Amino acid sequence: MSFTLQAQEGGARKGVLRTAHGEVQTPAFMPVGTQGSVKALSPDELRDLGVGILLGNTYHLALRPGAERIARLGGLHRFMGWGSSILTDSGGFQVFSLDHLVTVADEGATFRSHLDGSPQRFTPESVMAVQRALGSDVAMAFDQPAPWPGDLRGARAAMERTHHWAERCLAQEAAPGQLRFGIAQGGFDPELREESARALSAMAFDGFAVGGLSLGEPRATTYRLLQLQTAILPADRPRYLMGVGTPIDLIEAVSRGVDLCDCVLPTRIARNGSVLVRGGRINLRNARFVEDGGPLDAGCDCYACRGFSRAYVRHLFMAGEILAHRLASIHNLAVLLRLTRTLRDAIGGGRFLEVAAALRAEWESAPLP
Amino acid sequence: MSFTLQAQEGGARKGVLRTAHGEVQTPAFMPVGTQGSVKALSPDELRDLGVGILLGNTYHLALRPGAERIARLGGLHRFMGWGSSILTDSGGFQVFSLDHLVTVADEGATFRSHLDGSPQRFTPESVMAVQRALGSDVAMAFDQPAPWPGDLRGARAAMERTHHWAERCLAQEAAPGQLRFGIAQGGFDPELREESARALSAMAFDGFAVGGLSLGEPRATTYRLLQLQTAILPADRPRYLMGVGTPIDLIEAVSRGVDLCDCVLPTRIARNGSVLVRGGRINLRNARFVEDGGPLDAGCDCYACRGFSRAYVRHLFMAGEILAHRLASIHNLAVLLRLTRTLRDAIGGGRFLEVAAALRAEWESAPLP
């Protein structure tokens, strides 16, 4: 088995996911390297941050530079200089959420490239072939998320198509050592969510994702639907909550038995000057930081906080310097990775609920998008 | 004395410049950190590249975030997290070359800020006060370069004003341990250049710069005027050729007794996708690199060349990823720093002319801006 459960406490799980490129301590937060690069950061910086697994985007890499090209250059790990694990999503979310005239049929989805408008076609078979060519450690099944709020009929159709596609994905050959995860959907209907978790659980995936959440629904709905599915998904295989990753989301997800999360939030908000600090976030463009000689966050030991002041990073943002994005991205990732490690360390020690409650109280006051 | 000459050969000099922040092995190439950051790079990366001294821009830092602000935050070294030496230019070049309605009088120069159009005034006294507040290791005197091609009368007026300003700069208090360099001008007239070098040499500066070259004149003119001045400037003090730094320029400057150079070239061309390679340069945006699995330059051991392919860095450029700028900037700086070290190591060993000739032959075929 590629996944070992080491401890459980209060719904949360501590484990190890073994991939062709090493061991991933779970729960784990995966930074997003959409185009073969976690924006503004180098592989060395990610290693220094303790990142064990990255996410790469099938949709983006398939369109540019192309999966076969990356395969000829030695695969995605070698291409981007990353020796640890990589999970690739299937492109389902991008195909159905980007604004590019998608049409869907049982065979697959056709859409126009966001790069040049060229017609493109993704099928379960093609998406698995792309991920095979990329050589990722974890390949995700092709899925169709249902939009929020949507309607029950549409959500059911998308879910059933997702299930059929999942079976077709499993019928495809994987890259050597490549794990395959299915994606549970079901829109925002509790019964569909349960039905989808049951249907996926019957398939021989190495792990399961909860997809199609955090699309605009209230957070209480997100967490309730998540919990319905993690209660059903096989306990001996890893669970991955897709695209969710504010501090509070991480705490709530881990508390509900999620082992993997990814989110662009830490690097995306960093580029706008926002940094996560104890109990909230601040925007460094605010004039009040103009002579603030303190670190981004007094409790942080990341490279940005060790060497630079808020005033300096603010100056870099105002001056349009790339180093601003780098330092803010390093810091925000450090915060989410540390939060995940703190949660992980608490699982099985008898104090998880207490630790989670304290972290929740710390971050609840912090409104995040 | 802050400068020790260790060896001389064929016009070239090997030495050590001692500043309040350490020793600089000369000849040295100074990367440019205009706004308190060498574009796209971190201080750690500059250290890893072996950079011993950086250039900061008085003009830019005085306008944003302001010298007094940097002083209150502990000075420029602490502000930007750089523990080694910093030379600050005086802003003369920026004031007289940027397009902002400059008017000059003996008292100083008035102009409009490129940031907000606000009226600004630089005088020899204010410029030295800014550099004192920044706490740079080397402060440059305020100067007025003459434009290319210009006329003799204008060049003489600018030169004489530069000499008067130099005396006023020397009358100002320096920061503790701060060295002060004068700037020789003289436009493009050999006699003025000699006159300026003689006038400056009579002043108690810790070093001397050759300014106002590389403004569009033929390279043969640049080198001839440079040589006229280095022949006159005191041999026991360091010479700095300002704003010149293609590989060939470096070789020619060092061969004429220059100890310090700076240039934005390596980081500026990097941002456009151009990287320096043995015998020339390539633009990674060119389609021929789309599946080139080799390093940027096979002879280079920099971080970019150790871990990434031309195809990958090209992909990053095409995808607009910041890591592209970082890797290309690291590589281009590595090339110029290595070239400078190679020249330095050869001085005094009896093979300098041979080494310089070989490097000249290697780079002569490489047209650079």
Residue A369 lies in a domain: no
Residue A368 lies in a domain: no
Question: Do A171 and A85 sit in the same domain of this protein?
Answer: yes
* Separation in Å, CA of B16 to nearest CA in chain A: 28
**For the residues of A123-145, what is the DSSP string, one character each?**
-HHHHHHHHHHHT-SEEEPP--P
Question: Do A321 and A208 sit in the same domain of this protein?
Answer: no
Tell me which DSSP letter residue B149 carries. S
Cβ contacts of A44 on chain B, cutoff 8 Å = 303
Question: Do A210 and A117 sit in the same domain of this protein?
Answer: yes
Residue B369 lies in a domain: no
Per-residue pLDDT at B369 exceeds 50:
no
CATH code where residue B236 lies: 3.20.20.105
Name the closest residue on chain A to residue B72, using Cα atoms: A291
Cβ contacts of B327 on chain A, cutoff 8 Å = 42
Q: What percent of chain A has pLDDT over 70?
A: 98
Annotated catalytic sites of B, by residue?
89, 262
Beta bridge partners of A240: A209, A260
- Domain endpoint, select from A215, A246, A263: A263
Q: What percent of chain B has pLDDT over 70?
A: 98
Per-residue pLDDT at A13 exceeds 90:
yes
Partner residue opposite A69 with nearest CB, options B291, B316, B319: B291
CB pairs < 8 Å spanning A and B: 108
Per-residue pLDDT at B367 exceeds 60:
no
Residue A91 zone, left/alpha/beta (φ > 0; ψ -120 to 50; rest):
left
- What's the number of CA atoms in the CB half-sphere (13 Å) around residue B244? 27
Partner residue opposite A312 with nearest CB, options B79, B318, B322: B79
Question: Do A210 and A69 sit in the same domain of this protein?
Answer: yes
Q: What is the pLDDT of residues B114-169, one digit of tens each?
A: 999 999 999 999 999 999 999 999 999 999 999 999 999 999 999 999 999 999 99
User: Distance (Å, rounded) from C-alpha B147 to C-alpha B289?
Assistant: 40
Average pLDDT, chain A: 96
Per-residue pLDDT at A368 exceeds 70:
no
Name the closest residue on chain B to residue A315, using Cα atoms: B65
Partner residue opposite B35 with nearest CB, options A65, A308, A321: A321
Cβ contacts of A309 on chain B, cutoff 8 Å = 73, 79
Q: How confident is the model at residue A280 (pLDDT cuts 50, 70, 90)?
A: confident
Per-residue pLDDT at B278 exceeds 90:
no
Per-residue pLDDT at B1 exceeds 80:
no
Give pTM, 2 decimals. Answer: 0.97
Instruction: List all residues 6 or more positions away from B306 whose beta carbon is below 8 Å from its beta carbon.
Output: B295
Question: Do B146 and B288 sit in the same domain of this protein?
Answer: no
Domain range for residue B14? 3-262
Cα dihedral B137→B171→B94→B211 (10° resolution): -80
Provide the number of structural domains found in chain A: 2
Per-residue pLDDT at A244 exceeds 70:
yes
Cβ contacts of A295 on chain B, cutoff 8 Å = none
Per-residue pLDDT at A367 exceeds 60:
no
Question: Do A198 and A214 sit in the same domain of this protein?
Answer: yes
- Domain endpoint, select from B207, B241, B262: B262
Residue A349 lies in a domain: yes
User: Distance (Å, rounded) from C-alpha B224 to C-alpha B190?
Assistant: 8
- Domain endpoint, select from A263, A285, A310: A263
Question: Do A199 and A275 sit in the same domain of this protein?
Answer: no
CB B55 within 8 A of CB B33: yes
Residue B311 lies in a domain: yes
Cross-chain residue pair B293–A80, CB shorter than 8 Å:
no
Annotated catalytic sites of A, by residue?
89, 262
Question: Do B304 and B253 sit in the same domain of this protein?
Answer: no
* Strand-pair category, A22-26 with A12-19: antiparallel
| Other beta carbons less than 10 A from residue A130's beta carbon | 25
Cβ contacts of A41 on chain B, cutoff 8 Å = 323
Residue A136 lies in a domain: yes
Residue B243 zone, left/alpha/beta (φ > 0; ψ -120 to 50; rest):
left
pLDDT greater at residue A208 or residue B368: A208
Partner residue opposite B40 with nearest CB, options A36, A69, A323: A323
Question: Do A44 and A14 sit in the same domain of this protein?
Answer: yes
Per-residue pLDDT at B25 exceeds 60:
yes
Question: Do A304 and A353 sit in the same domain of this protein?
Answer: yes
> Which of A30-34, A87-91, A95-99, B86-90 is predicted least confidently?
A95-99
Question: Do B14 and B64 sit in the same domain of this protein?
Answer: yes
Cross-chain residue pair B307–A81, CB shorter than 8 Å:
yes
Residue A82 lies in a domain: yes
Question: Do A186 and A331 sit in the same domain of this protein?
Answer: no
Name the closest residue on chain B to residue A65, using Cα atoms: B315
Per-residue pLDDT at A369 exceeds 60:
no
> Which of A95-109, A115-129, B10-24 is predicted least confidently?
A95-109
Cβ contacts of B303 on chain A, cutoff 8 Å = 42, 44
pLDDT greater at residue B232 or residue B278: B232
Residues of B with CB under 8 A from a CB of A: 35-37, 39-44, 60, 64-65, 69, 72-74, 79-81, 290-291, 293, 303, 307-309, 311-312, 315-316, 318-319, 321-323, 325-327
Q: What is the pLDDT of residues B303-352, one digit of tens each?
A: 999 999 999 999 999 999 999 999 999 999 999 999 999 999 999 999 99
* Crossing angle between the packed helical segments B190-201 and B219-230, to the nearest 10 degrees: 30
